[in-house]
Structure 1
Amino acid sequence: MSTDLRVVLTTEADQIKADALAEQLITRRLAACITSMPVQSCYRWQGKIERAQEVQLLIKTSSDRLEELLSALEALHSHDTPEILQMAAQAGAAYAAWALGAVSPDAASAALEARPGNEHPAG
């Protein structure tokens, strides 16, 4: 398994859509953690300058799960032309180990997540 992490950025139209997308990605083990925050976007669309209140999602995943995550985003996203940006990320050893385990479909990693005494990671 690769130790590289990726951060994928996207926006959704509102918190309800952002929460639904996040839950699907976490359930499928395509993301270890998804942070959402309200943002104001300004962009050109169909020849006009638009402004919109949106919810930005910062999705943390592994390099190994990136392509499947990107495919799922294309399929599940509510926008016809979703913003999907991905970047390499460096993380501390403990967070990286947790994140890689969280996206692993391996049953052993699920047992590690549930081990008593483990603290919740910070987003």
Structure 2
Amino acid sequence: MRKLCYLTLTCDDSEKEVIANALLEKHLIVCAKFLPVNAMYWWQGSIANENEVMLFMESADDLFEEIERELKKIHSYDTFVLTQIAINNINEDARKWMEGELKTGEQ
């Protein structure tokens, strides 16, 4: 059985749909949700305070590296943070839907 996961990523509001569409069209994710967030972080020696959008995406563990490669092509940030959170339990109908839509090694 394939290991499913959530991915998180922040981006500028203007690029959220571009990123989501690029990953959806390649079947690297099955869903993307957008949450407005305020982020404070160290950047180039100073504390930055920015409004961003958090993408909360559903995917599979084995697609992480391909997703990261795709993001390096399209994400506007010099350094973005892509995190993976394991899905330990999921209802069977959702699992079947996700596995049916996600890219496999044969595609």
TM category, shorter: 0.7 to 0.9
Q: Between Structure 1 and Structure 2, which shows a larger proportion of strand residues?
A: 2
**What RMSD over aligned residues (CA atoms) do the two structures have, in Å?**
1.7
Q: Max radius of gyration: which structure?
A: 1
Provide the identity percentage.
28
Is the CA contact (8 Å cut-off) linking 2:26 and 2:103 kept in structure 1? no
Q: What is the TM-score normalised by the length of structure 1? A: 0.77
1:62-101 to structure 2, matched below 5 A, reads 62-90=60-88, 91-101=90-100
Gaps of 5+ in 2: none
Aligned to 2:102: 103
Query: What are structure 1's unaligned runs of at least 5 residues?
Result: 108-123
| TM norm structure 2 | 0.88
Count residues with an aligned counterpart. 105
Cα deviation, 1:60-100, whole Å, max 9, x if unaligned, reads: 11123222112212222111101111121132211111111
Contact 1:3 1:96 in 2 (8 A): no
Residues 24-33 or 68-77, more deviating: 68-77
Aligned to 1:18: 16
SS state at 1:64 partner: helix
